[in-house]
Chain A
Amino acid sequence: MSDLRNLTRRPEFAAFVGTLFVFLFFAYFGWPTFIKPLVTAGWLNVAAELGLIALPVALVMIAGHLDLSVGSILAAGAMTYAIITGYFGLPDIIGLPAGLAVGTFFGFLNGLIVTKTKLNSFIVTLAMMFGLRGLVFGITRLTTSTVLVSVKVSESVRSTFGGRLYLTFENAIVLWVIMALVVSWILYKTKYGNWIFALGGDETAARAAGVPVERVTIGLFMGSGFGAALLGITQVALFGSAQVSAGQSYVFFSIIAVVVGGVLLTGGYGSPIGVIFGTITFAIVSQGIYSTGWDSDWSSLILGLLLLIAVLTNNTFRRLALSAGDKVKTSISEAKSTPRKASSELKVTKEANRD
């Protein structure tokens, strides 16, 4: 019984409820189309691709930063790979690592600027988003005289990054699962996970406690740069071409998925499992709309509402977590009570404090 109670207090619980809700919602209004394998593959593919970016971005956000440059980095990674293998015809063994390295490098640059200048990561990555987009446009046009580079993707790359598992289920799903396992491992099992939470909780206190704040921050931005480039290359492998304007929509999609997944915008709290649910929720809403016969414009409305509800839920949770123990006499069994109980305790505490 106490296990069940603990479950409802976990950060991913609200995200899970959200996913369940939108699934049932579209299963009802989109019946029976919504549960067909092709439709399932449709939203699962969207979730997998978004997840490649959303998971590392979630780590950045748990550490209290934002990364708005993932869209431009995606394009930079994809274009690097496409120009090297498609335009110059060099082998994948050069093109693939180069694409991933370019993404990781610009992530490194983000992290370096944020830690050295102490500027807000919102501004730094916004500047990177525009600056890098210009750079990718410029270099691509100078090299290839076009803005779209097509690639004859080799069999090995296609089957790894761009292939289909079964029916229309993409290989990206496998990459997504691997990414989820790696990110969860880092956050829950290693000391680095502890450093990430501490950094998002209170940077000054983390520094005082001996957490290498600069190294962790730079590493996290490198991670989101890597994830963006990986998705860029995956998309090239899927579609056989790279476009300079690709990927910008992922900037906001990733933030929606992460916040709906229960990560606090202020950092310090969140879970990869929650982010996976957030990503699935996003994908179901954006794809499920097609099986209802409604105009697809409505999905944006639902996403907007979900985002708002998620932020409110997250803030409520934080308030409960922070105030649950103000009353010193609370016994352990009471302190573990359900959120509803805790909110009534909160009122009592507030009244007690007024005296």
Chain B
Amino acid sequence: MTEKRTPYISIENATKVFGGYVALNDVSLEIHQGEVLCLLGDNGAGKSTLIKVLSGFHQPSSGIIRVEGREQPIDSPRDAADLGISTVHQFGGTFPLMSLERSFFAGREPTKGWGPFEVFDSKTAGEIVVREMQAMGITRVTDGKRLVGSLSGGERQVSAIARAVYFGAKVMILDEPTAALGVKEAAHVLRIVMQAKKRGLAVVLVTHNVTHAMTVGDHFAVLIHGAKAADFRRGERTREEITDLMAGGEAMAELEAELESYRSAPDGQQPQR
């Protein structure tokens, strides 16, 4: 994996300023197909801004984005979708009160008929959604009319991933996909992430969870205060080093020392400083 390949997307020196506040500061990143890029960082480190730039919600104040080597601005979520960039939000980005078949195809409905009599093809949509969900291991979904809200958090996450894969996503951005999930469900979602990677998708995984990141990640980038603090490949850093980086380096060591002093202090007393 050391030879130089053209990344599917590369961000070069992207800066994003919101009314004087620098949310992203000169960030460069490469996103390769068939790889999982883990985007790590504390709250407010600029992860969301970066994925919003990638998914067309924000445009960088300066810097360029290249797709397969060509300069290509992403001006809207529609542009991102046309480039095969699909974003799955924390809660699956789905619509709890819609049926699975309607939610799955929202914005890209299969239709039949013509003109004013062009209708939503519920039968096809239902068949496809059940097939895709089953293929992703959610076997209890047998009816496309089922409400999305009746699925568990993990199943909703998987349905959103299934949607991205079905519509031919080349880059899948997952925003904290495992944050609200139990251990088993999180494992299932990570397995789906690995499947997507094996299919040749580029996956951008945004997470707080170092264990999950280390399980599936090939390439890691850590953001601190909007700037890229580290960029390394699998096996180049230990878990402790990554955790320290995420928490802003020394800050974490200090905090741990303080916590330790609480633990060693006698009950009912503040630790001595």
Q: Which A residues lie at the B interface, using CB under 8 A?
A: 189-191, 193-195, 197-198, 201-202, 204-211, 264, 268-269, 318, 321-326, 328, 330-332, 335
Contacts and interface: CB of A to CB of B under 8 A. Distances in A.
A321 B97 contact: yes
Given A194-B102, A328-B155, 19 more contacts: A189-B120, A191-B111, A195-B106, A197-B102, A198-B98, A198-B106, A202-B95, A205-B89, A206-B107, A210-B77, A269-B97, A318-B97, A321-B96, A321-B149, A324-B150, A325-B152, A326-B152, A330-B140, A335-B146
B178 interface: no
Contact of A198 (B87, B103, B151): B103
Interface in B130-159: 140, 142-143, 146-147, 149-152, 155
Interface string B70-107: 00000001100100000101000111111000110111
Contact of A210 (B102, B107, B185): B107
A190 B118 contact: yes
B77 A205 contact: no
B175 to A, nearest CB: 11
B56 to A, nearest CB: 9
Contacts of A193: 120
B108 interface: yes
B189 to A, nearest CB: 13
In the A-B complex, list the 6 residue pairs whose CB atoms are closest, starting with the nearest: A201-B95, A210-B107, A325-B150, A191-B109, A209-B107, A322-B149
A269 B102 CA distance: 13
Contacts, number: 103
Contacts of B152: 325-326, 328
Select the residue from B89, B96, B105, B118 with max chain A CB neighbours within 10 A: B96
Interface string B246-263: 000000000000000000
A30 to B, nearest CB: 37
A208 B149 CA distance: 19
16 contacts: A191-B118, A194-B102, A194-B120, A197-B102, A205-B94, A208-B87, A209-B108, A210-B77, A210-B78, A268-B98, A321-B147, A322-B149, A330-B140, A331-B140, A332-B142, A335-B146
Contacts of B94: 202, 205
B120 A202 contact: no
A210 B140 contact: no
Given A205-B89, A321-B149, A328-B152, A211 B106 contact: yes
Interface of A is mostly: helix
A332 B140 contact: yes
Select the residue from B111, B147, B152 with max chain A CB neighbours within 10 A: B147
B110 to A, nearest CB: 9
A264 B98 CA distance: 13
Nearest to A209: B107
Given A208-B89, A324-B149, A191 B77 contact: no
B49 to A, nearest CB: 15
Interface in B20-79: 55, 57, 77-78
Contacts of A331: 140
Nearest to B94: A205
B119 interface: yes
B107 A198 contact: yes
B36 to A, nearest CB: 21
A194 B105 contact: yes
Nearest to B151: A325
Select the residue from A209, A210, A264 with max chain B CB neighbours within 10 A: A209
B98 A201 contact: yes
Nearest to B148: A201
A206 B119 contact: no
A209 B106 contact: yes
B97 A209 contact: no
A189 B119 contact: yes
B140 A205 contact: no
